[in-house]
Amino acid sequence: MFTFTLRLFSLLLISTTTSTATAQPYQATDHFLLDCGASSTTTSFSRRWSGDEHSEFLPFNSHVTSFLSTPTAQYPPPPENLYTTSRIFNTSSFTYKFPVSQGPKFLRLHFYPATYSNLKENQSFFSVSSNGYSLLTNFSASRTSCFLSQPRPKVSSFFKEFIIYVKDTQILNITFTPSPNSYAFINGIEIVSMPENLHFKAEKYKYLDQISGPVVDNYTALETIYRLNVGGGQISSKDDTGLYRSWDGDDNYIFGASFGLTWGMDSPIVYTTNTPNYTAPEIVYQTQRSMGLLSQHYNLTWALPVDSGFYYLLRLHFCNIIPQYTKKFQMVFKIFINNQTAEHEADPFFWTQGSGCPVYKDYGVYVVDPDGKGNKQDLWLALHPFYGQYLDGYLNGLEVFKLNMTGNLSSPNPERSCTTPPSRLTYPIKEKKKKTPYGVILGCVGGGLVMFSLLVLMVLCYRRRTMGKSSPRVTSKSFRSLLPSDRCHSYTLKEVKFATDEFNENCVIGNGGFGKVYKGYMEKTRNTVAIKRLNKSSSQGFHEFQTEIAMLSKLRHVHLVSLIGYCDENGEMILVYEYMAQGTLQEHVYNTNNPPLSWKTRLSICIGAAKGLHYLHTCGKRRIIHRDVKSTNILLDEKWVAKLSDFGLSKLGSKDPLKTHVSTLVKGSLGYIDPEYCKTKQLTDKSDVYSFGVVLLEVLCSRPVILRRLSDEQVSLVTWGKSCYRRGTLHEIIDPKLSGEIAPECLRKFGEVANSCLHEEGSERPSMEDVVWGLEFALQLQDIANEAVPENQ
Ligand SMILES: *[C@@H]1O[C@H](CO)[C@@H](O)[C@H](O)[C@H]1NC(C)=O
Ligand SMILES: *[C@@H]1O[C@H](CO)[C@@H](O)[C@H](O)[C@H]1NC(C)=O
Ligand SMILES: *[C@@H]1O[C@H](CO)[C@@H](O)[C@H](O)[C@H]1NC(C)=O
Ligand SMILES: *[C@@H]1O[C@H](CO)[C@@H](O)[C@H](O)[C@H]1NC(C)=O
Ligand SMILES: *[C@@H]1O[C@H](CO)[C@@H](O)[C@H](O)[C@H]1NC(C)=O
Ligand SMILES: *[C@@H]1O[C@H](CO)[C@@H](O)[C@H](O)[C@H]1NC(C)=O
Ligand SMILES: *[C@@H]1O[C@H](CO)[C@@H](O)[C@H](O)[C@H]1NC(C)=O
Ligand SMILES: *[C@@H]1O[C@H](CO)[C@@H](O)[C@H](O)[C@H]1NC(C)=O
Ligand SMILES: *[C@@H]1O[C@H](CO)[C@@H](O)[C@H](O)[C@H]1NC(C)=O
Ligand SMILES: *[C@@H]1O[C@H](CO)[C@@H](O)[C@H](O)[C@H]1NC(C)=O
């Protein structure tokens, strides 16, 4: 009976949505904004909040002490007016009562923990309940803000969002109860109606692991734990679809080194009856994180801390924005939640009858509480490619909700108490080094300028395809909004100056035609970066500069150096790159005092660089040819992960996929240039393969590509290496420091790969994909040999 009614109800809703939902923005029937402690109307988050003093929602209650307060000065200034006042309850319970219509409501409680009227924020513990649900118990806002500050920059204010279904009593009451010898406070209360069927559904949610979990019916209260615009930046409440939800970026929750790729487009999203336009704003569906095509070997994983001992509902949003993907069964992936398979064959095209329109999927999971303490635990979400023409997978948005257990949503406060935020970490400023990554970083920046034009082309093509009509006008503003704001960050000049100690000469790590490169420490994100400051005299216009950043930020791969931010304040043109702690590959191979790299490390660096190159060759409709592959353009991060840099000479391949070359002036570095390209002036991706073959020999033999003091036969590493390979004496010319370390089978395979890359005729050389495969095979051979032979032999 129960389910029947609900189902009928929902059917009715669906039929009404068909006719109206796509035609109307969601208009909340109830929308209360209360600025607690304020006596008049204020503006915060671009909305008008009424003061709660003398408010009709505060019933007369003579036994209650509540008073207004303004936070004292020692705290960071409140980000919104809402936080300048709070209402404090220091004796007994206190209830706000809101007359609302029947139906589901968002309830948002805003907190700004600070010292109010000499009451220290760390002494505030209280409970909050609403309509019979216990929302918070012995809650400490100051501890919560510390917890929230862990993965992200310091959080001074935050809100808790709950979803409560108001029954026919048509009252939403909120009761604050201070813990003994403590006090409660609240800065703002927000109540917004939501569409009836956004979360409350007739169908049961799909639960993992369990045969069944609780139904999300009108007796269930939910708490929003995460709402992420995956692969995009933050979205503020005013840019939501009339529900005033805030969306966060997902970068802080990516687990492991594989960040995948982020994509964005700004053509309109076509909503459907099943996914009406209030489900999520367009920008959520217009940005995504995908695995990239080289993903057979990893899971794209998010780790999201949640409270143990509760059921959680995960809502995954998908929308196809990659133009190559056009139909069902072309790109099928798996979805794992907490290491269990949630979806064996995820195919957003299949789910949308081949349209690729936005669609969301809900999954329920129980997070077990092993020790009964309700501590935080990571909730895992992972994508893994499965089958199809493209091995990939993507996600556009993610929402995580906690479901009440026996009327209770509260968990203990986060354990960690707040330590004083670490002040600016000191890092040793190295004396000016001789040969360093800067040349490379510089090149990368300079190269970026070239790269930019190529990318503009790519993205424009791409837009056109997605739209099926003329490409939209692109304004710098829309680009800015498409930037994944936490990965390609807009820094203030103040931050950059602080990071580089006012552009202190001691921080300079490189110098070049475009300007200087500094090593800097970013206070907010707490990481070391390479900061490139372009000369103000550079003629590049402001708009181009911005567009370039937007473009560069789209090309992301584990094995390509990333642009993480920029600063365009005050006429400055500053680019911020990830800092490559170990410098260039060359610095660790020869002419160096660095300890020799082990053979396995060298192999994995080569594999990484090969993957980066393969990505460039295959990532877009038109291949990108690097044109300057060499050991100084392969940078190493602190974990020895190889990253290609310096796209200064890069070229975009022909538009015609059948035409494999572009004709250009011959450019590149001596000793690395493909002889065929020199002769024909025709550049192909095989020219990169040749240069990569040269790098393989450098790594094996630890010597420069050209060494004039040697005998004629040996001057060129390539000629020498190839002749040794032919004569079967390659083992005689390897780096003596590696002697005995390389298994003969591994050397044979490695030599074969290097030699094939160096074939005179481009068409005979392998593709980078084959190179990756060959090197991985060589690594396996090495591993097998190592297992067979005990270490001490
Ligand atoms: C939903 O679509 C309608 C038109 O179809 C539009 O008027 C409305 O503004 C949209 N709502 C949102 C939140 O985008
Ligand atoms: C609550 O605050 C009022 C106003 O500051 C004060 O007079 C009263 O003593 C406080 N009560 C307790 C129990 O701290
Ligand atoms: C609150 O913080 C102060 C310092 O700001 C500290 O002395 C005090 O012990 C803390 N109290 C609690 C209950 O943590
Ligand atoms: C709050 O609402 C619930 C359910 O509507 C009701 O049971 C409870 O008595 C109310 N509490 C107060 C203090 O009004
Ligand atoms: C509330 O939490 C604090 C800190 O964890 C603890 O010291 C206090 O005893 C708790 N109070 C109650 C009533 O549980
Ligand atoms: C809640 O759901 C039950 C069962 O479907 C239904 O009978 C009841 O009318 C619903 N209540 C409200 C307030 O919608
Ligand atoms: C899931 O796998 C990760 C490693 O990928 C592991 O750290 C984690 O503990 C696992 N989680 C569960 C719930 O088994
Ligand atoms: C991906 O995650 C699933 C589930 O946790 C696990 O079984 C699988 O081994 C993982 N794959 C890789 C390559 O890490
Ligand atoms: C949530 O609370 C409601 C009302 O108290 C209760 O009926 C329901 O069983 C609870 N859900 C769970 C999973 O305990
Ligand atoms: C709700 O759960 C918290 C934490 O588990 C517990 O301290 C509190 O007593 C519970 N509240 C109710 C009303 O059951």
CA–CA distance, 529 with 585 (Å, rounded to integer):
19
* 123 touches ligand 2 (CB under 6 Å): no
CA of 339 to the centre of ligand 7 (A): 6
pLDDT tens profile 197-239:
898 876 777 888 666 788 888 899 999 999 999 988 889 998 8
pLDDT at 124 over 70: yes
For the segment 110-128, the average pLDDT, to the nearest whole number, is: 89
pLDDT of residue 603: 96
What are φ and ψ of residue 114, in 5° steps?
-155, 175
Pairing mode, if any, of strands 94-99 and 171-178?
antiparallel
47-51, 170-174, 486-490, 789-793: lowest mean pLDDT where? 789-793
401 versus 615: the higher-pLDDT residue is: 401
Taking the C-alpha atoms of residue 238 and residue 229, their distance in angstroms, rounded to an integer, is 15
Q: Is the model more confident about 339 or about 292?
A: 339
Tell me the CA–centroid distance for residue 237 and ligand 1, in Å. Answer: 16
**217-420 belongs to which homologous superfamily?**
Galactose-binding lectin (2.60.120.430)
Say if residues 164 and 221 touch (Cβ distance below 8 Å): yes
Q: pLDDT at residue 451 above 70?
A: no
Query: Which are the contacts of 396, defined by CB distance < 8 A and separation ≥ 6?
Result: 229, 230, 231, 284, 285, 287, 288, 317, 318, 319, 321, 358
Q: In what order do the strands lie in the sheet with 184-186?
A: 66-69, 86-89, 184-186
pLDDT at 548: 43
pLDDT per residue as tens digits for the range 549-604: 544 555 678 898 887 888 878 777 788 888 888 888 998 999 888 889 999 999 99
User: Residue 66: CB within 6 Å of ligand 2?
Assistant: no
Q: How far is CA 407 from the centre of its chain?
A: 35
Cα 405 to averaged position of ligand 9 atoms, centre (Å): 5
* 8 A C-beta contact, residue 316 and residue 360: yes
Indicate whether 711 pLDDT > 80.
yes
- Identify which of 381, 398, 370 has the alpha carbon closest to the alpha carbon of residue 225: 398
Name the catalytic one among 52, 250, 628, 646: 628
Residue 411: which of 453, 441, 357, 369 has the closest Cα? Answer: 369
Which residues is 171 bridged to in the sheet? 99
Q: Is 564 within 8 Å of 528 (Cβ atoms)?
A: no
What pTM was computed for the model? 0.62
Q: For 388, which DSSP code?
A: S
pLDDT in the model for residue 436? 28
Distance 216 CA to ligand 10 centre (A): 21
Count the neighbouring beta carbons within 10 Å of the beta carbon of residue 4.
9
Q: Which of 119, 122, 416, 418 to probe ligand 3 with, by most ligand atoms within 8 A of CB?
A: 122
Q: How confident is the model at residue 281 (pLDDT cuts 50, 70, 90)?
A: very high
Confidence label for 127 from pLDDT (cuts 50, 70 and 90): very high
Nearest to 715 by CA among 705, 702, 723: 705
195 in ligand 1 pocket by Cβ < 6 Å? Answer: no
Give me the pLDDT at residue 699, please: 96
How far does the centroid of ligand 9 lie from the alpha carbon of residue 223, in Å? 13
Q: According to CATH, where is 3.30.200.20 located in the chain?
A: 476-578
What is the pLDDT confidence band of residue 19, given thresholds at 50, 70 and 90?
very low
607's CB contacts (< 8 A; 6+ apart) are 642, 772, 775, 776, 779
pLDDT score of 222: 96
Ligand 3 within 6 A of CB of 179:
no
Q: pLDDT value at position 683?
A: 83
The whole-number average pLDDT for the span 754-765 is 94
209-241 as b/e: b if 16+ CB within 10 A: eeeebbbbebebbbbbbbbbbbbbbebebebbb
Distance, in Å, from the CA atom of 119 to the CA atom of 161, rounded to the nearest integer, reads 25
CB under 8 Å to 542, separation ≥6 — which residues? 568, 571
pLDDT per residue as tens digits for the range 368-425: 998 888 888 999 999 998 888 778 899 999 999 999 999 999 998 887 655 433 322 2
In eight-state DSSP terms, residue 77 is P
Give the position, in ligand 7's atom list, of the atom nearest the Cα of 299: 5
Task: Indicate if 209 belongs to the active site.
Answer: no
State the CB neighbour count (10 A cutoff) for residue 154.
Answer: 12
Pick the CATH number of 583-788 from 3.40.50.300, 1.10.510.10, 3.30.365.10, 1.20.1730.10: 1.10.510.10
Arithmetic mean of pLDDT, 160-187: 94
Res. 64: pLDDT tops 70: no
Both tokens assigned to 271: 């909503």
374 or 469, which is more confident: 374
Q: What mean pLDDT, rounded, does the chain reach?
A: 78
For ligand 9, atom 3: residue with the closest CA:
407
CA of 299 to the centre of ligand 8 (A): 6
Q: Residue 350: is its pLDDT beyond 90? A: yes
- Is residue 586 lining ligand 7, measured as CB closer than 6 Å? no
Average pLDDT of the segment spanning 441-453: 29
| Nearest of 227, 232, 240, 234 to residue 194 by alpha carbon | 240
Distances from the Cα of 592 to the Cαs of 117, 267, 430, 510, in angstroms? 62, 51, 17, 18
pLDDT given at position 657: 54
- Which residue out of 17, 20, 24 has the highest number of ligand 1 atoms within 8 Å of its CB and is therefore the one to mutate? 24
State the Cα–Cα distance between residues 681 and 674, nearest whole angstrom. Answer: 10
Lookup result for tokens 């004039």:
708
Q: How confident is the model at residue 34 (pLDDT cuts 50, 70, 90)?
A: very high
Q: Which residues are annotated as a binding site for ATP?
A: 532
Instruction: State percent of the chain over pLDDT 90.
Output: 39
Q: Which atom of ligand 10 is nearest to the CA of 406?
A: 14
Contact 732/741 with Cβ under 8 angstroms? no
Name which residue sits closest to atom 14 of ligand 3, judged by CA: 122
pLDDT tops 80 at residue 2: no
Domain with CATH 2.60.120.430 in the chain: 217-420
Angle CA(676)–CA(682)–CA(685) in degrees, nearest 5? 80
pLDDT over 70 (residue 791): no
How far does residue 11's CA lie from ligand 6's centre (Å)? 15
For 686-724, what is the HEC assignment? HHHHHHHHHHHHHHHHCCCCECCCCCHHHHEHHHHHHHH
Residue ranges around ligand 4 (CB below 6 Å): 95, 131-132, 169, 171, 173, 175
Binding site, by residue number, is 532
Domain with CATH 1.10.510.10 in the chain: 583-788
Q: Evaluate if residue 345 carries a pLDDT over 90.
A: yes
122 lines ligand 3 (CB under 6 A): yes
Query: Given the CA of residue 297, which atom of ligand 8 is nearest to it?
Result: 13
Quote the crossing angle between the two packed helices 599-618 and 768-788, to the nearest 10°: 160
- Reported as a single tens digit per residue, the pLDDT across 146-156 is 888 765 556 78
Least distant ligand from the CA of 278 = 1
Looking at residue 570, its pLDDT comes to 79
Q: Give the pLDDT mean for 611-625.
A: 80
Fold of 476-578: Phosphorylase Kinase; domain 1 (3.30.200)
The string of DSSP codes covering 640-694 is --EEE---TT-EE--SSTT---EE----S-TTTS-HHHHHH-EE-HHHHHHHHHH
Does any ligand 2 atom lie closer than 6 A to the CB of residue 92?
no
Phi-psi region of 280 (alpha: psi -120 to 50; beta: other; left: phi over 0): beta
Q: Pick from 131, 135, 165 the residue to mutate for probing ligand 4's pocket: most ligand atoms within 8 Å of its CB.
A: 131
